[in-house]
Structure 1
Amino acid sequence: MASSAMSIAEIVTHPVRVRIIQQLGGRELTTAQLRAALPDVSQPTLYRQVAILVEAGVLTIVAERRVRGAVERTLALGERLAHIDHEGLRAMSDAQLRSAFLSFLGQVGRTFDLFLDAGDPQLREFLGFGTGSLYVNADDLATIQAGLTKVLAPYQVDQGGGRRRVDLSTILIPEAVPPADPEP
């Protein structure tokens, strides 16, 4: 299926494409660097998935150079954000939504495994996870998300200077039971 016929949800929820997008968050990588970062993905699969993301505008080619007769591309996230908005989430079937969520969790798990496999106890200074409850309506949530976007923006681009990349994953899952109306 050509990416022009796929919804943004279908494009960004494919397990390999999720991993490519996460690797490129806030930085530019060559295709060789992507191959090194995703050694379990075959080269043809990687190139096919990159092509779909480029065609969809999720990735952009920021540079090309000749390397031993081949063209090596440097990639970055494109103008079309690799994020599924509420409209996209509403359009997904339950099976698509479950698959997208499990893909997301799988990638978080893979990243955590790589962290553990590194065997560097000093990296634990950068680790944190937990769950907290918020009591919000849709407007409150939009305000919180806009505020987080503003606060995080300066840290989403690799500026060097000894900074370490950390992945910040967010999950919002609404309570399935509607809140009770307060007594009059």
Structure 2
Amino acid sequence: MPPQGNIADVVAHPVRLRILQAVGGRDLTTAQLRELMTDVPQATLYRHIAALVDVGVLAVASERRVRGTVERTYTLGEQMAHVEQSELATLSDDQLRASFLAFVGELLRTFEGSLSLGDLARSHLGFGTGAMYVDEDDLARIQQGFNELLAPYLEEVTGKQRVMLSTVLLPAE
């Protein structure tokens, strides 16, 4: 397991990214996570969940007894799978490449899965790239406004389609 204090190392693992994307915006039990991730052995899934809980990216929302065992329901923790700029600065180029590759791989897996939704996927799909000219203060204001804009859409609501929003900022050459 990665060191408990290094969120970037913990979150960068492909299985852990999948767990975080599954939980994002809702609470899921371990049984529900197993149903969503049938290709991951149960013991492996539990180890990855434990690593995410250890660094505060996942939190236990509730516990209940089920057939003599405790079933936990997980939610995103205080760290929210966000790697701070200061922590990114400590990663080597190879660690950054591996982290970004894991992110892109999970993005592609999510995209492939959404294609099974047919027309619904196309009506809720969008992607593109555009240039912006900013300094660090501009980025801070954009992030604050972005968070405020998204806040009303982060709770699960009956009748609304769950979508995944991924953002990437890359300095252009």
The question of a shared fold, defined as TM-score above 0.5 by the shorter chain, is answered with: yes
Relative to the length of structure 2, the TM-score reads 0.94
The reply on whether 1:175 has 2:169 as its aligned counterpart is no
Q: CA deviation at 1:123?
A: 2.8
* RMSD of equivalent CA atoms: 1.3
1:62 maps to what in 2? 61
* 2:123 aligns with one of 122, 125, 128: 125
Structure 1 pair 77–122 and aligned structure 2 pair: CA distance change class (3 A)? closer
Residue identity over aligned pairs, in percent, reads 53
- 3-state DSSP class of the match of 2:89? helix
Relative to the length of structure 1, the TM-score reads 0.89
Give, in whole Å, the separation in 2 of the partners of 1:82 and 1:123.
Answer: 25
1:46 maps to what in 2? 45
Q: Could you give the per-residue CA deviations for residues 46-93 of structure 1, whole angstroms, max 9, x where no partner exists?
A: 000101111211111111112222221100011123111110110111
Q: Which runs of 5+ in 2 are unaligned?
A: none
Give, in whole Å, the separation in 2 of the partners of 1:161 and 1:41.
Answer: 29
Whether the 8 Å CA contact 1:3–1:52 is kept in 2: the answer is: no
The reply on whether 1:84 has 2:83 as its aligned counterpart is yes
Q: CA deviation at 1:7?
A: 0.8
The reply on whether 1:163 has 2:172 as its aligned counterpart is no
The amino acid that maps onto 1:147 is G
Q: CA deviation at 1:114?
A: 0.5
Q: Which runs of 5+ in 1 are unaligned?
A: 177-184
2:16 maps to what in 1? 17
Equivalent pairs, count: 173
Q: Could you give the per-residue CA deviations for residues 151-182 of structure 1, whole angstroms, max 9, x where no partner exists?
A: 00111121x23011100111111012xxxxxx
Structure 1 pair 102–2 and aligned structure 2 pair: CA distance change class (3 A)? closer
Give, in whole Å, the separation in 2 of the partners of 1:38 and 1:86.
Answer: 30
Give, in whole Å, the separation in 2 of the partners of 1:100 and 1:65.
Answer: 35
Q: CA deviation at 1:2?
A: 6.2
Q: Could you give the per-residue CA deviations for residues 5-24 of structure 1, whole angstroms, max 9, x where no partner exists?
A: x4111111111111111111
1:182 maps to what in 2? none
- 3-state DSSP class of the match of 2:126? coil
Q: Could you give the per-residue CA deviations for residues 112-151 of structure 1, whole angstroms, max 9, x where no partner exists?
A: 1111133x21331101111111111111111111110110
Structure 1 pair 170–81 and aligned structure 2 pair: CA distance change class (3 A)? same
Give, in whole Å, the separation in 1 of the partners of 2:38 and 2:155.
Answer: 24
